[in-house]
Structure 1
């Protein structure tokens, strides 16, 4: 009976051991199957395109809104009075310097010149007579044949005659000027306005003289625009190179670019707006520009600088901060906060936050989370290899 119990116990132990082995094998098979299922369900890392940052020498540009102002603008007013005899230009035409524009009746001024010339001749004759008298008086005085008072009277008359000649000569010069002023010419080249006073009207000289016409020089224009205080400080440090600070000007709805150079800043900041007026000079190459036009102005740095550029599509916004995602050596996307500089041909200058050689994600940014694996596209990998 005892032998039978022992055999039964051994049999139960063997059965238990076999059952435990089979159970363990089933558990291991189940875990392996679960691992395979988990691996099969993991999504592949997102495919991205990257740009490898390299320093580039570029000229940075700042954009402003501005208006055109004339470099030279003249209001023509008569310097002598009289009747306007001729108007020698068409309204709005381009005139050149010294081109005749108006003629005021010259006859009164010609007569005044003739009269002044006659007075000068008479004064010179009188002066010659008194000069001869003075020479005789000098001789007589040396021989004590005339008194001192008679000699001094002759000398005084001689000096008065010399002064009369000078006065008559000045009157003649004024008469010549008045005759010249009767023929009004353009003091500068440019586009002239309409004639404000037409033929037959009588005009007067002096403070109440009317405006006959206006001329605006249009070979070049000032471009006036306002810059903020920070920009002013930055640009002021480059004023020694102001002659090399280029500008590009465009008009609304027009693709033509006009070129020029920075000229000067105003002498004070406007406390109300916190800006200061700047002025550049632009060439009116096609004579289309005119004073008062609204323009878009781009002001370039005086010299090219070595910078890092990132496409606009690579830049994300996190509240008030800007960031990019960089792929590290483990093919993992990393968050980098950056400071942006000026725009340049659809890209942004990176002032801080990145280094040369960094691989910045430029496509697929919306599908990538920081600190997650990514896969670089074949085209990007090929570019990196080259």
Structure 2
């Protein structure tokens, strides 16, 4: 009987253990199915707002003073004085350089001596002419002598005029030895030093003098940009269109905006065939002399949109040079959509095609999303996004 009792207990326990094992496995599988990996991800979502914005086109520019004068020597000689330093501001007529004038002073003295001799010779011939006139009238001498005297007098008068011209030329050359500022402005680099031999044949000027009360910013547009520029503003001619172009900004090399606004004044008459671009000129007032010739920067041409869709750049991704966003439907499923960008800032894209106002988009965390994935939207107000990073 003992053997039979043992058999009965074993047959009862084994099925119970199997049932318990199945029950535990079922619980484990149920817990796995409810793990966070299969839950919908929580992602920030925003409704796309309409906002008035100003979009800027930027064009690289080089700056020059309104007047840039190359100061060059008019006579040859050695520099014996340099009165100014590089970067100094000078007034019109202020001495800048002096070429050693000794040889030119001697030439002037020689010309003056020749002038005195010519004047004396004229007086001499005048005396001879006056002496012969009464003698001819009284038939004492023939009129041939009088004619000869008149010819000698005319030759002496011509020589006197020539001597005066030589004095004038010598005086001009002496004046050229002192080189003065032709306009008020700032001195550029001075490649020559005291003792340098300079003259008209030099390829380099003594310096460049820049008048910088008004600065010109030169920039160029490609042909498509120029066509869009012409179509954007009213007017029959380019001159009329320029009057309707708003003021432009100048972005300096350190990415700060120059405080004075400028005006586009000039469009070049033809395209440069080598680069396919046309040149523009904008004028900027420079009351504090901050800008100098040779500065570089960017012209910012504004375009105002009364209402445009604003999309944060962090909400976008690119595939083959196209910009996409993930939109969220009423069932919280996402769909990727391409968008057309009409302008941008450091933080935002301005969209003119692909989205509608109020459409919900995923703000961030789009790296692992795929079309049709369901998310748990965490709504973020557009106002808070725009306040955090103003347009």
1:193 aligned onto 2:189: yes
Residue aligning to 1:342: 343
Choose which of 202, 227, 234 in structure 2 pairs with 1:233: 227
Q: CA deviation at 1:95?
A: 3.5
Name the CA distance, whole Å, in 2 between partners of 1:49 and 1:119. 96
Choose which of 159, 166, 170 in structure 2 pairs with 1:164: 159
Residue aligning to 2:46: 49
Contact 1:70/1:222 (8 A) holds in 2: yes
Alignment of 1:83-102 (within 5 A): 83-102=78-97
Q: CA deviation at 1:86?
A: 2.6
1:311 aligned onto 2:311: yes
Per the alignment, in what secondary structure is the counterpart of residue 97 of structure 2? strand
Q: Give per-residue Cα distances to partners, 1:249-274, cap 9 Å, x unaligned.
A: 2214x636365444544844354x55
Choose which of 195, 199, 202 in structure 2 pairs with 1:205: 199
Distance change >3 Å, CA 143–CA 373, structure 1 → 2: farther
Choose which of 269, 274, 295 in structure 1 pairs with 2:272: 269
Name the CA distance, whole Å, in 2 between partners of 1:378 and 1:81. 77
Contact 1:95/1:190 (8 A) holds in 2: yes
Per the alignment, in what secondary structure is the counterpart of residue 102 of structure 1? strand
Q: CA deviation at 1:67?
A: 4.6
Q: CA deviation at 1:278?
A: 4.9
Name the CA distance, whole Å, in 2 between partners of 1:204 and 1:269. 36
Q: CA deviation at 1:350?
A: 3.9
Residue aligning to 1:110: 105
Contact 1:53/1:360 (8 A) holds in 2: no
Contact 1:61/1:342 (8 A) holds in 2: yes
Contact 1:227/1:277 (8 A) holds in 2: yes
1:217 aligned onto 2:210: yes
TM-score (norm 2): 0.59
Distance change >3 Å, CA 139–CA 50, structure 1 → 2: farther
Question: Structure 1: any 5+ residue segments left out of the alignment?
Answer: 1-41, 382-386
The farther-off stretch of 127-136 and 170-179 is 127-136
Distance change >3 Å, CA 267–CA 125, structure 1 → 2: farther
Name the CA distance, whole Å, in 1 between partners of 2:137 and 2:331. 121
Residue aligning to 1:257: 258
Question: Structure 2: any 5+ residue segments left out of the alignment?
Answer: 1-38, 384-391
Name the CA distance, whole Å, in 1 between partners of 2:328 and 2:355. 12
Per the alignment, in what secondary structure is the counterpart of residue 46 of structure 2? strand
Distance change >3 Å, CA 275–CA 152, structure 1 → 2: same
Q: CA deviation at 1:62?
A: 1.4
Name the CA distance, whole Å, in 2 between partners of 1:305 and 1:151. 95
Contact 2:87/2:186 (8 A) holds in 1: no
Name the CA distance, whole Å, in 2 between partners of 1:140 and 1:375. 129
Residue aligning to 1:17: none
Alignment of 1:165-180 (within 5 A): 165-180=160-175
Distance change >3 Å, CA 375–CA 155, structure 1 → 2: farther
Name the CA distance, whole Å, in 1 between partners of 2:272 and 2:352. 27
Distance change >3 Å, CA 190–CA 104, structure 1 → 2: same
Name the CA distance, whole Å, in 1 between partners of 2:57 and 2:68. 29
Distance change >3 Å, CA 130–CA 236, structure 1 → 2: farther
Name the CA distance, whole Å, in 2 between partners of 1:144 and 1:268. 83
Name the CA distance, whole Å, in 1 between partners of 2:156 and 2:66. 49
Q: CA deviation at 1:87?
A: 2.6
Q: CA deviation at 1:141?
A: 10
TM-score (norm 1): 0.59
Name the CA distance, whole Å, in 1 between partners of 2:117 and 2:281. 58
Contact 1:63/1:296 (8 A) holds in 2: no
Q: CA deviation at 1:173?
A: 2.0
Distance change >3 Å, CA 309–CA 270, structure 1 → 2: farther
Q: CA deviation at 1:300?
A: 0.9
Contact 1:61/1:299 (8 A) holds in 2: yes
Distance change >3 Å, CA 152–CA 336, structure 1 → 2: farther
Distance change >3 Å, CA 202–CA 315, structure 1 → 2: closer
Per the alignment, in what secondary structure is the counterpart of residue 359 of structure 1? coil
Q: CA deviation at 1:291?
A: 5.3
